[in-house]
Amino acid sequence: MKILRHTVSFIFLTTLFISCKPSQQTIVKATEEIPYFTFYTLDQQRFVKDSFDTERIKFIMYFNSECDHCQKQARWLRKGLQENLTSFKDLEMIFISFEEMSMIKEYRDKYQFTQSNITFLQDSRLTFADKFGVGSFPSILIYTKEGKLIKKFEGETKIEEVLPFISN
């Protein structure tokens, strides 16, 4: 009886593992290019894949305003923006969170992310993580002007690590 139970458990777990593998490959493949999505700006305007500026490298940060790591990342980024203005000024910087608009605005204002090349978006349907293949806060994704993935960072990332991937 024990052997039968172990065999059934083994078959079940093997089947489960194999069935999960293609979905992981799909996520990885989907993030090679910016996927189709619909998010909303802080003034409730739709923002979709075609809304991106085709003349700029895209810097996308997925965050949660209450996450300590995201707050630390914001401080590093704020300092990086001040010290390396020329590296960041030509980027299209997108910050995305699933939180309420008021929380996103507080985060923006707290860290003074008010430059004209920065846009904050709300992911009210909680689709960003799946569509972009990220699993942690904060996550930073760098895409070419054409929307091809250059680099993905998950977790706290020092600005010095990001700089080589955002220079023109």
Amino acid type, 161: E
Q: What is the mean pLDDT of the chain?
A: 86
pTM, full prediction: 0.82
Q: Is 9 strand, coil or helix?
A: helix
CA atoms within 13 A on the CB side of 136: 9
Reported as a pLDDT band with limits 50, 70 and 90, residue 17 is very low
Strands (E), the chain: 38-41, 46-48, 58-62, 92-97, 118-122, 139-143, 149-154
